[in-house]
Structures are given as C-alpha cells and as structure tokens.
Amino acid sequence: MTRAIIHLDMDAFYASVEQRDRPELKGKPVIVGGHPQRGVVLAASYEVRPFGVRSAMPMARAHKAAPKAIVVAPRFHAYVEASEAVFRIFESVTPMIEPLSLDEAFLDVTASLGLFGSAASIAASLRQRIAKEVGLPASAGIADVKFVAKIVSDLAKPNGQKEIPTGTSREFLAPLPIWRLWGVGPKTEEVLGRLGLKTIGDVAAREQHWLTKHLGAGGQHLWELSQGIDPREVVPDREAKSVGAQDTFDEDLLGEAALTPHIHSQALRVGRRLRRAGVRARVVQLVVKYDDFTSISRRVTLPAATDDGQLLYREAIGLLSRVDLGRRIRLTGVAGQELTSGEAQLGLFAADAPKKQEKLNSVLDQIATKFGNHAVVTADLKREQDSDDPRDGFYREEKRETAVKAEQQRTKTGLTVERDEE
C-alpha cells in the first residue's frame, strides 16, 4: 500500500525560538550555546550559517568564526513548550506521529487524505498553522517512504516544502550524493567512493549481488534504498517498543546526588509520555554514559506495568546502585519498555498510594496542558529550575542528544550547506 509520509522539521529550532521571543534578534546572526569554553553550539540561526557556524561545533570555534554573532544561553523550557505546541498541531491531522526529537517528526497521513486533502496541502496547512500559532518556521518533505521524506525536507529548508510524487523516488534520488542515504557515514562513503559509487544513481545501476559481494549484507539494504524502497513504518509512541528520555549534561557529573534530579526529571517525562500515548511499561531501563563515552544500561522488570513517573524514578534510582558511581557521567537516560496498552485491570490489593498517584498524575497532566509544564514541578526539580536546565517535569522533550546528533549528522553530510545556499 502506498503511504503518504510527511517529515516535518523546524528550521534552526532553538535559534528561531530566541528570535521569536526577542524581536531585537530578528535577522541577526544568533548562536544558542551552553558554556562558552566547554559547550557546543546547540543551534545556529540562518544568518550565522554563512560564517560556517554549525550545530555541535565547539563554542570557542564558533566564536572565532563569527565573532559578531550574538550568543544566547539556551532556554530549554521555551523550546519544550514550543515543541509541545507544534506537536499538538501535528495531532490535529493524525495520531500516526513518530517524534525524532523536539523539533522533528514523521507523520503518516495516509489515513488522513480523505479528510484533509493531499499530503502537500496537509503539509502546507501544518506549516502555516505553526507559523501563525507558534510563530516559528518549519520545512516539510513529502514522499511515500520515510527516508526520502527526510532527505526532501532538508532540501526544502528553510521554510519550504517539497514533494516527491509516488513512483519517482528513484529518479529523484539518482543524482544525489551517496552520503544522503541513511546509514552512509564518512567511512562507508569512502569505501563506496573507491568502488566508483559517488551518487545514489550509481548504486541503483549496480546489480544487487555485485553490491552484496563488495559490501556484505549492507549492500542489499543500500540497493533497496537507492531504489526508493524502505519498508520502515512511522511508529507512534503508542506502538513504540520503548519510550525514553535522556540528557547529556553541560558538564560531566559525579555522584548520586548530582544525578538524581536529572533521573527524576527523565522518569517524569517518560511517565507523561506513556500516559499521553495510553501505554504502560513493564520494564524500566536506566542508561548511563561515562565520560569516556562507554555506556551501560541496567533494567528491571516491574511486577505490574506502570505509567507513573514517580514509580519509574524509584526503580531507576534502584538501578543506579548497579552503576559505577565513582566515575564521571555525561549522560543518563530513563526508558520504559515492554509497553502494554492502557486497558489495564486495576488491582484490589495495590497499595493505596499508587491509586492516589494515579489521580495526582491525571490532575498534573491537566494542569500541564492548561498552564504549561512549569506550572507544577516536584520539589527536587524546582531547585534546578533557575539554571534553566532541561530537568523540569515536562514531556515530549526528546533527547537533547538526539537533536545534537542529528545536527552533527546533517553537518557531516553537508545538509546544512544546502540550507545556506537556498
């Protein structure tokens, strides 16, 4: 069955939010970044990109490249709120939303076509509403498979949209450089280059067995992609295997006391997202990345599935005791796994506390919907609020690291150059 998939991506998201909220920054080169020495560029406005400033670039280097750029400290709660508003607009056209990060998502609108018209008109109206209601620019790519939609949205940036009609993916992909394909990093690109494969069309023109002979099992996948074949579906949280939140810290943290507020925030975010998706997790996973970039994960199976962030937090803290706390840690993440749909039978002998917690959660969710995620936070998180770290009890805050990584990939693959040229 032919699908209609839209990849929506906010343009220079953090920087655009800053420019929206501080009119004096409009049209100016803006860098959103953390620590001036240690930090990295989190977002660069389009005005500063011609200077070569890219996301994930060390701040020191960015400052050298664009000394006149205005550096703004990140206000994560503002980004999360903007993201929430954007996702609410997405939800008005389909429940089939796969969030990739705060500022990008796949939407499968196949089932919405009858109701809202063509995919292109849905994308246009979404972008229009985002501009009008949230005040931010977004770009969209439309195709019948996910990876093509993602490539196209990059090509459409900034503030544009583009559609690849069904059946024309192959022609569209052919002239594009090989690194555009998912999974083709600099190393693979080099290997392919030595085989004389520079464009996606070069791959498409080759026989499958020739590719598998030279590239192994990955050759088959690469060939499929070059043909515009990608069976991966849009997976909303509801059907996801796992719902998680993780944060890379501005500086590496040492010791349990420093970590717990972050883990608490992550657990609460996971709880919210689970409740939103109407699912409960049977397994809690804690991921820890040490300062040497090695990472470990610990998991525990719960006696009963839960969507309560406080319970997830207690379990995650239990898992923390199985982590080497003598080492510096740069990232923690909490995930709920083995998800079951929310149609759960309540228990008679469940302690009274969870029942109260359930009521409390539903009230907190309502408050957050009406007054924003900062309206009520738990006491240990309140303390952190002033520093504007992303550790409030919000949801949909998809991994800051994922966003940074995505930016890195884009930079690596040169996609940001396309943006600047357009």
Choice between 296 and 344, CB closer to other proteins: 344
Distance CA 268, CA 260 (A): 12
Q: According to the binding rule CB under 8 A, does residue 95 interact with other proteins?
A: no
Choice between 358 and 418, CB closer to other proteins: 358
C-beta separation of 32 from 14 below 8 A: yes
CB of 92 to other proteins, least distance (A): 20
Among 217, 257, 348, 379, binds other proteins (CB under 8 A): 348
CB of 112 to other proteins, least distance (A): 16
Amino acid at 117: G
Distance CA 417, CA 155 (A): 10
Q: According to the binding rule CB under 8 A, does residue 292 interact with other proteins?
A: no
Choice between 201 and 342, CB closer to other proteins: 342
Among 207, 343, 386, 421, binds other proteins (CB under 8 A): 343
Among 117, 167, 183, 347, binds other proteins (CB under 8 A): 347
Instruction: Of 3, 13, 159, give the one whose Cα is nearest residue 96.
Output: 3
Instruction: Of 179, 277, 170, give the one whose Cα is nearest residue 226.
Output: 170
Q: According to the binding rule CB under 8 A, does residue 293 interact with other proteins?
A: no
Choice between 118 and 341, CB closer to other proteins: 341
Asked about 104 being catalytic, the answer comes back as yes
Among 250, 358, 384, 401, binds other proteins (CB under 8 A): 358
Distance of CA 276 to the CA centre of its chain: 17
Residue with tokens 């930016």: 407
CB of 90 to other proteins, least distance (A): 20
User: How are beta strands 329-341 and 242-253 bridged, if at all?
Assistant: antiparallel
Q: According to the binding rule CB under 8 A, does residue 351 interact with other proteins?
A: no
Total residues at interface with other proteins (CB under 8 A): 12
CB of 353 to other proteins, least distance (A): 13
Q: Which stretch binds other proteins (CB under 8 A): 108-116, 231-239, 351-359, 370-378?
A: 351-359
CB of 34 to other proteins, least distance (A): 41
Choice between 217 and 351, CB closer to other proteins: 351
In 211-294, DSSP assigns E strands to 242-253, 279-290
For the chain, the straight-line distance linking the first and the last C-alpha, in angstroms and rounded, comes to: 34
Q: According to the binding rule CB under 8 A, does residue 344 interact with other proteins?
A: yes
CB of 278 to other proteins, least distance (A): 9
- Residues 6 or more apart whose CB falls under 8 angstroms from that of 287 comprise 244, 246, 295, 296, 297, 331, 332, 333, 334, 335
Choice between 86 and 234, CB closer to other proteins: 234
Cα-based distances in Å from 202 to 166, 177, 410:
21, 9, 22
- The 8 Å CB, 24+ separation contacts for 294-299 are 295/331, 296/323, 298/322, 298/323, 299/337
SS3 46: coil
The active-site residue, picked from 47, 104, 163, 189, is: 104
Active site residues: 104
Q: List residues near other proteins by CB under 8 A.
A: 341-349, 355, 358-359
